[in-house]
Amino acid sequence: MKDNQQSGSTVILSDRWRLAALDRGEWMGLGLAAVVVGFLFAMFHFLGNTVAEAGGRSAFLWMYARWQDKISFGGADYSHGFIIPFVSLWAVWHKRHDLMSAPRSINPSGLALIVVALILHWIGAKMQQTRVSLAALILLLWAFPLYFYGWRFARHLVFPVSYLVFCIPLNFLDVIAFPLRIFATNVSVAVLHGLSIDVVQVGSSIRAFDAMGAERWGVDVANPCSGLRSLLAMTALTAVYAYVTQRTLLKRWVLFLSSIPLAIAGNVVRIIFIGLIAESLGERVAVGLVHDYSGYVVFTVAILLMVSVGSALNTEFRWRWVGLGRLPAGPPRQGPRP
């Protein structure tokens, strides 16, 4: 009987989503969506970039070129941008049932946001700031559903659309690369001293000398080692992880903001690891193969810390203490967890 019910449901769903089964209103909705998507693509492809750089007039090609940029500090700091649109599409698919069941109505606030986004795009074009135009595009992608379908529908698209912000190359963040280098070097030197390894900090480099004053090994914390690339990638990764695993908006924001210190901590562990290898196996090994593959250390440490923080946020410590007999057990909780 159960198999028959499942088979019947499959047939109903299959028939429901055949093009011939769509009513007039659904056809009009699909046509309107196609017109909006075509309008946005044409406007930002042919009138999206006023900077005389790679990509011509296209904001999309300009952004694609920046993802591959090897000139910026660290080189290709936004190489993760290629996967961001696919993650955003997955987030929409993840919310498909909520979107289909959400009540729909016209919301005039969406029209106001459309006007604001178009003005923002015009300002970005006049200022030759393609990043501003791309931000306007992201706002438009949410403003149109808000206007045509209402808040109850558009609220399910807040995360999928806002996640596209990670596509925008924010190269002005390169200014924080040097402070990150100095901070990571300071902490790494302090930890190495705690491990009884006598090192000296010279700017953003770490040096070790023998009893005669000759340098035994040295490690330079250069721009690629500042941790900026791992910081950008970890914020994008943590945003998805927080969205999927955390129950409340507050916990999601706490976990997302924790990605900044977690990425910095991962980079510090990487520098300490290279220093330990240099102390035990020599500078050539440390700055050679170990250095080239030490980036995996950053993400391993950062991801483990991210999962630990996420698990801690989801732990109900009061009930753990009750289980240990430290607190009196109260009445059982009613209803599902928030």
Whether the pLDDT of residue 185 is over 50: the answer is yes
Together in a domain, 276 and 155: no
Q: Is residue 190 part of a domain?
A: yes
Together in a domain, 157 and 191: no
Looking at residue 274, its pLDDT comes to: 87
Determine the structural domain holding residue 55 and report its residue range.
Answer: 21-169
Give the span between the Cα atoms of 141 and 89, in whole angstroms: 12
Together in a domain, 224 and 286: yes
Together in a domain, 151 and 191: no
Q: Give the end of a domain, one of 169, 203, 234.
A: 169
Q: Which residue has the higher pLDDT, 161 or 37?
A: 161
Together in a domain, 159 and 238: no
**Lowest mean pLDDT segment, chosen from 249-253, 285-289, 317-321:** 317-321
Distances (CA, A) of 323 to 93, 313, 319, 326: 39, 18, 6, 8
Q: Which residue has the higher pLDDT, 335 or 329?
A: 329
Together in a domain, 57 and 108: yes
Together in a domain, 181 and 236: yes
Q: How many domains does the chain fold into?
A: 2
Looking at residue 212, its pLDDT comes to: 78
What is the chain's Cα-based Rg?
Answer: 26
Indicate whether this model's pTM tops 0.85. no
Together in a domain, 101 and 212: no
Whether the pLDDT of residue 13 is over 50: the answer is no
Q: Is residue 252 part of a domain?
A: yes
Q: Give the end of a domain, one of 120, 139, 169.
A: 169
Whether the pLDDT of residue 37 is over 50: the answer is yes
**Lowest mean pLDDT segment, chosen from 116-125, 231-240, 320-329:** 320-329
**Cβ partners under 8 Å of residue 23, min gap 6:** none
For residues 50 and 131, is the Cβ–Cβ distance under 8 A? no
Could you report the per-residue pLDDT of 243-270, keeping only the tens digit for each?
Answer: 999 989 999 999 999 998 988 888 888 8
Together in a domain, 148 and 203: no
Could you report the per-residue pLDDT of 131-184, keeping only the tens digit for each?
Answer: 899 999 999 999 999 998 899 999 999 999 999 999 888 777 777 778 888 888
Single-letter amino acid, residue 124: G
Together in a domain, 159 and 290: no
Q: Give the end of a domain, one of 109, 135, 169.
A: 169
